[in-house]
Structure 1
Amino acid sequence: MSSIFASSEIVSNGTNKTEPVSVLAFLPLAIVSCVSVGAPLNLLIAVVIIVQRRLHKPRHIAWLGVTFSNLFAQVVSVNELIVFYLMPESKTACWIFSLLVGIPYASLLLNLLLGLIDRFIAITFPLWHKNQVSVKLIIAEQLTGVVLLSILFKASHFWDGIRKNVSCLKNEPHGKIIVLTLTVLVTSCFIAQIVIYLKTKTYFLQQREGRCQSMSSLSQADRPQNVLEQSTAKSPEFFVHVGSNAISKLEIEATWTLAQGVTSLAIISSPIFIVWLGAFYCSHVYDDCTAVTWMIPYFRELVLVHTVYNPIMYIWRSHEFSSAVKRKCCLGNANVT
């Protein structure tokens, strides 16, 4: 029974020898295209956030972790192509591939989840978030999470591989742990996105209802002063710094945040999980599952689409980031002149 992660790339023939890798031209072309577009965008975001001190805030540092995960996924994909084409018959290539499988996408999902949790705390407990959540705390959480994921994925892989003397890509417990972990992370991201959207929507409705009631109960003469007093007294902490003209804009931004997270996760995650579940079922019923497993390398590389989509959406939606880039460009032009 071959591993569902081996697919059509590297398959052990049971004689401690690996068959040559078979990768169609479409796969390297797609990888090179995504990396060529995504790598400069992610590097731009990483450099700007690191250099610009005004962006050294938890929400941007959380996205910096997502950016590094994107770059890691792109590096791993390029490494796969190099290893597969240069050393297709080497067992070392097989072990390198199995060493990295699952980690890039898991770290990406983990950093997205940590960013969503940070946004939920910032919305629900804004003063506590401002005083307690620091940049160092976010970085420590990201590093700890990635290390724990790597240990979880690789400890079972190498222990079972050495103890049972199985092929590096013929480790079913290892594959099950990866699929289970990714399923938990994806589900958690879905739930976090929905909770954040509903929480933000509630604040918007409360603010809008309070403003309408205040405006209708006041006379035209004393409206300006009393509106300020009542809105300050009745508004949640989240809206202390929000002006009246920003509500509709924030509502649209919250909707786009939900659409970005849920839609991208659905598009990227659903196909590969459906194929993996089908492969798991097939591996327990039939001996030959190549009709399903041949699709795994192609659907697995869909994560590269996410590494391009994420930075584009961040650059487009983050006004702070855009302002920092424009300010840096203006200062650079001023220094040149």
Structure 2
Amino acid sequence: MNNSSSSREEVVLTENGENYNPINIGIGSVVIKILCCSIGIPLNVSIVVILTRLARRLHRKPRYFFLLAIILSYLSFFIVPVIELIYWGIYQDESLCHAYVAVIFVPQGLLLVNMLLALIDRYLAINHPLLHREKMTNRLACCLIVTCSILTVFLFKFVYIAGLDILRCEILLLHVKVASIVFIILFISCMAMNIVVYRQTKILLRESRTVETTRDDGVTANNHSTVVSPMSIHVGRKKLDQLEMEATRTLIMGVTSLCVMPCLNVVFSATFFACRLVFGQSECSNLNGIGSLIKEISLTPAVYGPIIFHVRNKELREAWANY
């Protein structure tokens, strides 16, 4: 009896004290998922095809591999809603629920990891261009992406991979705690790198106002001399404002995407566990509905994220126009 009670304390329960079915969705959720999938899947697949062709045409620059990894991460977001839709409308089997539990949290984690790798790559390209050009090869970029992706999956599913529990059609609280910790670490890292890259961009914009130029100082009576003097190059105010605004928008868009996902998940998890600690499990079961709503909101970056990349990347837009 004690073992049964202890087991029930380790999973999320409904208001009636039954095990919460994580894959149970309503008609409103079905409509949202169908809309997101019908828009997001073709959009992401088309961008993947275009990026593949673009990388081949531009000698496979490493930055396109990181961008491709981000788009593939967005595409993986739709694995969970597709499982839910199949379970809802076609095949209500417990194996689908097991697959759902095995996949949740992973797409968001992969997106954060690949965004972090892309930001680090951009930082190195800005601060150490020669070293970056020499060391950051296509093979190294692919190895980093694959290795970090595998490590991310291992961390998010450590509870099941390490055999701490078996895969069941229920939300294990230990699983949520581990995922929340990993989310927090990745979220803070991405935020920090986003700010660092933004600051470095601002520094380069300031340095672009003044360049070193070499000029001939004329012929003196006894010798010829060449004097190097600094010349202030004043970029047009309008152009400079555009560059600074572009850098600002990059930061704002990146932070906004991160705040939508996984910041909401982290805040909800913290609220849920705080509620359980203060009021007990039975008083906090009504938060399950809020969790489902946040899950729907977390799907939206997979739709608007690729659109942002498409709008802001000139080469991608040109390749799209010729596609």
Tell me which of 71, 79, 84 is aligned to 1:80. Answer: 84
- 1:17-46 CA-to-partner distances (Å, cap 9, x unmatched) read x86964221111111111211112211211
Deviation, structure 1 residue 277: 0.9
Instruction: State the match for 2:193 in structure 1.
Output: 192
Structure 2 residue 110 is matched with structure 1 residue 107? yes
Structure 2 residue 30 is matched with structure 1 residue 28? yes
Alignment of 1:319-330 (within 5 A): 319-326=314-321, 328-329=322-323
Paired residues of 2:155 and 2:182 also in contact (CA < 8 A): no
Flag structure 1 segments of 5+ consecutive residues without an equivalent: 220-225, 236-241, 330-337
Structure 1 residues 12 and 290: CA distance shift in structure 2, 3 A? closer
Instruction: State the match for 1:270 in structure 2.
Output: 263
Q: Secondary structure at the match of 2:164?
A: helix
Flag structure 2 segments of 5+ consecutive residues without an equivalent: 1-7, 218-225
Instruction: State the match for 1:135 in structure 2.
Output: 138
Deviation, structure 1 residue 179: 0.8
Give me the identity figure in percent. 29
TM-score by length of 1: 0.78
Alignment of 1:87-166 (within 5 A): 87-88=91-92, 90-157=93-160, 159-162=163-166
- 1:158-195 CA-to-partner distances (Å, cap 9, x unmatched) read 51224xxx955252222111111111111111111111
Counterpart of 1:29, as a letter, is V
Paired residues of 1:46 and 1:67 also in contact (CA < 8 A): yes
Structure 2 residue 64 is matched with structure 1 residue 60? yes
Structure 1 residues 170 and 79: CA distance shift in structure 2, 3 A? closer
Aligned residues: 299
Structure 1 residues 48 and 2: CA distance shift in structure 2, 3 A? farther
Tell me which of 281, 286, 299 is aligned to 1:287. Answer: 281
Deviation, structure 1 residue 2: 5.8
Structure 1 residues 101 and 38: CA distance shift in structure 2, 3 A? same
TM-score by length of 2: 0.81
Instruction: State the match for 2:39 in structure 1.
Output: 37
Paired residues of 1:84 and 1:93 also in contact (CA < 8 A): no
Deviation, structure 1 residue 287: 2.1
- Please give the root-mean-square deviation of Cα atoms over the aligned residues, in Å: 3.4
Deviation, structure 1 residue 104: 0.8
Instruction: State the match for 2:221 in structure 1.
Output: none
Structure 2 residue 148 is matched with structure 1 residue 180? no
- 1:241-275 CA-to-partner distances (Å, cap 9, x unmatched) read x9999755443322221111012212333333222
d(CA) in 1 for partners of 2:203 and 2:21?
A: 57
Structure 1 residues 245 and 319: CA distance shift in structure 2, 3 A? farther
Paired residues of 2:83 and 2:96 also in contact (CA < 8 A): no
Counterpart of 1:294, as a letter, is G
Structure 1 residues 277 and 19: CA distance shift in structure 2, 3 A? closer
Identify, as 1 or 2, the structure richer in strand.
Answer: 2
Identify, as 1 or 2, the structure richer in helix.
Answer: 1
Deviation, structure 1 residue 87: 4.6
Paired residues of 1:98 and 1:168 also in contact (CA < 8 A): yes
Greater relative contact order: 1 or 2 (C-alpha under 8 angstroms, separation 6 or more)? 1
Further displaced range: 291-300 or 264-273: 264-273
Instruction: State the match for 2:220 in structure 1.
Output: none
